[in-house]
Chain A
Amino acid sequence: MASCLVASKRPLLALPFFLSSPCESVVLDLRRNQSSYRRTTQRLRVKPDASFGSSLIHTQEDHIIHNPPSSAPSVYLTPSKFLPSNDVRKNLRTAPANSNNSEELPPVVRAPSEKKYHLTPSDIREIRRLRATDPMTWSRLKLAKRFECSPMFISLVCETSPQKKEIQKRVLEAVQSRWGSKRRMAREDRQLRREAWGRDQ
Chain B
Amino acid sequence: MPIQGVRTVTTARNGVGAFILQCKQLDFHYCDWAGSSRGMVSYLKHQLPAFAKANPQIEIRVSPRPNKHPVIRGLFINGREKVICVRNLEPGAIIKKVNLLKEASGEKLKRTTKPVTSINESVRGIWSPYHGGIKSV
What residues make up the interface of A, taking CB atoms closer than 8 Å to B? 51, 68-74, 199
Contact = CB atoms under 8 A, between A and B. Distances in A.
Contacts of A68: 131-133
Interface in B85-137: 121, 124-129, 131-133
A22 to B, nearest CB: 12
Contacts of B6: 199
Nearest to A76: B121
B contact patch SS: loop
Closest 3 CB pairs of A and B: A70-B132, A71-B125, A69-B124
B131 A70 contact: yes
Given A71-B131, A72-B126, 5 more contacts: A51-B133, A69-B127, A69-B131, A69-B132, A74-B121
Which one of A69, A72, A73, A74 has the greatest number of beta carbons of chain B within 10 Å?
A69
B124 A71 contact: yes
Interface string B1-43: 0000010000000000000000000000000000000000000
Contacts of B121: 74
Contacts of A70: 127-129, 131-133
